[in-house]
Amino acid sequence: MSLPTSSLALLAGALLAALWVARSGVLRPYLTFAYHCFIRPIGSGEHKDRLDKFYAGQASVYDSTRSKLLRGRKTMLSLSAAHLKSMRASNPNQRLVWVDIGGGTGYNIEVMDAFFPIADFDAVYLIDLCDSLLDIARKRFAAKGWKNVTVLCQDAAEFNLSEWANKDPKGSVGFVTLSYSLSMIPSFYTVLDRIDYVLDPNVGLLSVVDFYAAGKHASLHEKAIGGDSKECGWLTRWFWMIWFDFDNVSLSPSRRAYLEYKFGTIKSYNGRNKTLVPLIVRIPYYIWLGRSRSCPDSARACHTFESEAGNTIGNLSPVALKAIKSGEDSVPSLELGVASLELAPQPMVINITPPHSSFHYHTSSYWRLPFYAQPVHKEFRTFIYSFTWEDPFEDMKHLQLSSSDSMLVITSAGDNALHYAATARPKRIHCVDINPCQGHLLELKLAAIKSLEHDAFFALFGDGRHPNFRILLDNAISPYLSSSAYQFWRINVKSFSSSFYLRGYSGWALRLAAFIFGIAGVKKDIEAVCAAETLEEQEDVWKRKLRGVILNPLVTAVLRNPAFCWNALGVPLNQRKMLLDEGSVYEFVRDTLDPLASSFLFKNDNYFYLLTLLGHYTRESCPTYLTPKGFDALKSEDATALDAFRLHTDSIVNVLRGLPKASLTRSLVMDSMDWFAPGANELDDEINQLHRVIAPGGMVFWRSAARLPWYNARFIAAGFEVTCLGVRTGPVTALDRVNMYASFWRGVRL
């Protein structure tokens, strides 16, 4: 049987392609790499002998064959450059020495030049034990003409710089890197101890990228510094440990554990190398940045676990938190013996030994208070709200806010907290949310204000998209983010590739709206209502074209569904019941939307519904913090207005328990009281704590889906004078720009 002509042509083409590949040498580097890594025996001599034997035959192809295997090196370097610039901004003339340990061919140093010019280092040292790789590095640096780079063939455990002659090297190095070398160093304890000794305790930075295998269960310390995606399944853990062991590469968790114990964590990211065979070959690797724990007590940037009036309560270890809730007189020391906490009568006093804080460190900001990752946090895969759904302009009419006020607010998307900071600059703004992702979102906004100019900032949170978010994140924003927030945004780096406001649970509501408008064929009418120049024109489009699309039985049925209410609108069952007890879903939607078209112009006076309709803000219609004036108010004077923020990842009542008596003057709890079931003791605890923490004459504000919330009586019983600031009575007058809530209330602490 003869093959068809087409099959013969394909076979001939395949043979020609194979011949071309063989003659071109395209595969030669990879075959060389495979032979030396998987076939040629390494032997059992001394460590240096094994390294020389392993790399001698493949030194010339090392860089070309490792570009896909050794992932994260460029990210580690770009993050390091951003943090070095931030950490050294206050003293740019201080001497800067970089030691790249196990740097081999000098690849890292060449790449770093694009992020932090090599000429800006006073001295750069490449330390490695393999002569064949160092020969490549010497040629590379000679071609670059760098006179400040020195190549040293030394054991990492005993590295010694020429400039240390006849003097103590303690604290003389500003930057150390370990790029896929920590896993290859047998005496890693000695190496890390030596790095700690020579690293500058004030502004020194240690950066690591390497393969890893995680333990079966995260320690308390690991929970404290964050660890999204760190867990490895048993097959992944044992397979890669055994596989790399053949090449004398150790993925034992002890290396990373000692690294994170010895140094304070600034950034940590856990990734998977999916390049070779996606979904099958997924080698775990991590990127880690840290600093010495031996920083002086005066260097506040060395730790974030601060004892500011005890407001770290709720961010303690589970053991300590349990003791506090049970009323014990003392709190057990944190595990690892790293911090001693003593509980005293209010105000609580927390004694911390800064050099041994088990929490991650910040370099440039102190907004996010540390928290232990607990099961409740795992329930939130992402943020619920990508935008805040309360009107801060209406709040400001009643808050009487000044620069001497201290506030507690619900984090949500952070829009309203930023509004208060931009317009009144209160002394302290405690932002509370048990969903860590809401804290990650507000952190991103704070860090972006600090690090970006207005156009880039508006692209992110006004337009909701930016083509270079990953670059912005690593090169500019990252120094101002906590480790847990950086991990979240690094994992969700595609959030700004299309509309950011279609992300999160609230994004499903906007997606549904866009779908309905598309099916109904009213997209042009949506654009028209958002571009209307007068209220009359806007109301006309609403009544003729849009009202019937939204107020129809199908949409009402979807809005009535409890699963959609929670997953898309963030409306829990208890709040949904309060709404339905006073009327139907149709009546609620009608009373919400009908007054808006005749009250506030979407084009420039109601950014809430403009966002809902368009999926993004415009420069004419956006929250205050996105306007040039609001942005400048927050960014001016080196962004001192942002110093007011403290972000708590916990329940309101836990945070209140840690605040001193009469330490707050204002609190806005949004509609959170609606979430409680009638008769819930937890609500009484929260209201009583509000009464204790708010100073006499201070005020609490809340909104409700009900015209007369059942819990108002609880506030009165606790010692508040309750006043109604507005009740929605029908589809005629809007309470505010959102008009979603049936009532607005104020409680004055007597």
Position 341 scores a pLDDT of 30
pLDDT band at 446 (very low <50, low <70, confident <90, very high): very high
Each residue's pLDDT tens digit, 285-302: 999 999 988 765 444 444
User: How many Cβ atoms are within 10 Å of 286's Cβ, its own excluded?
Assistant: 21
Q: Which helix (H) or strand (E) holds 694?
A: strand 694-704
Tens digit of pLDDT for each residue in 660-700? 999 999 999 998 888 888 877 889 999 999 999 999 999 99
pLDDT beyond 60 at 306: no
What pLDDT score does 275 carry? 62
Of the listed ranges 120-134, 144-158, 344-358, 706-720, the least confidently predicted one is: 344-358
Distance separating alpha carbons of residues 651 and 660, to the nearest angstrom: 17
Edge-first strand listing for the sheet containing 743-749: 645-648, 428-432, 406-410, 664-668, 694-704, 743-749, 720-727
Count of Cβ atoms closer than 10 Å to residue 248 Cβ: 15
User: What's the pLDDT score for residue 380?
Assistant: 80
Please state the three-class secondary structure of 83-117 as a single string. Answer: HHHHHCCCCCCCCCEEEEECCCCCHHHHHHCCCCC
At position 134, the amino acid (one-letter code) is: L
d(CA 683, CA 680): 6
Given this model, what pLDDT does residue 50 score? 56
Q: What is the mean pLDDT of residues 392-410?
A: 97
Rounded Cα gap, residues 304 and 311, in angstroms: 12
Structure tokens at 605: 């006076």
Give the amino acid at 455: D
Q: Where are the alpha helices (DSSP H) in 669-733?
A: 681-693, 712-718
Q: Which residues pair with 612 in a beta bridge?
A: none
d(CA 435, CA 413): 11
The rounded percent of the chain whose pLDDT value lies above 70 is 78
CA dihedral for 471, 476, 482, 485, sign (positive or negative): negative
Task: Write down the pTM of the prediction.
Answer: 0.85
Query: Bridge-partner residues for 746, per DSSP?
Result: 701, 723
Span 562-587, mean pLDDT? 70
Q: What is the structure's pLDDT at 689?
A: 96
Q: Determine the residue type at 184.
A: M
- What distance lies between CA 730 and its chain's CA centroid? 42
Candidate ranges 231-245, 285-299, 313-327, 408-422; pick with highest mean pLDDT: 408-422
Higher pLDDT, residue 452 or 351: 452
- Interatomic CA distance for residues 135 and 129, integer angstroms: 11
* Domains with residue ranges and CATH for the chain: 72-294 (3.40.50.150), 505-615 (no CATH)
**Secondary structure (3-state) at 271:** strand
pLDDT in tens, 62-71: 555 556 778 8
Neighbour order of strands in the sheet with 149-153: 149-153, 123-128, 97-101, 175-179, 205-211, 283-292, 263-273
ω into 347 cis (within 30 of 0): yes
Give the span between the Cα atoms of 684 and 680, in whole angstroms. 7
pLDDT in tens, 496-534: 998 899 988 888 888 888 888 888 899 999 999 999 999
- Cα 673 from Cα 679, distance rounded (Å): 12
Beta-carbon contacts of 394 under 8 Å, excluding residues fewer than 6 positions away, are 735, 736, 737, 744
> Closest Cα to residue 581, out of 711, 703, 705, 672?
705
Contact 392, 652 (CB under 8 A): no
SS3 543: helix
- Residue bearing tokens 């069952």: 573
Q: Where are the alpha helices (DSSP H) in 431-472?
A: 436-451, 454-458, 469-472
pLDDT of residue 66: 58
545-555: per-residue pLDDT in tens? 998 888 877 77
- Confidence tier at 340 by pLDDT (50, 70, 90): very low
Q: Please name which of 119, 269, 112, 299 lies closest in space to residue 200, comparing C-alpha atoms.
A: 299
Sequence letter at residue 3: L
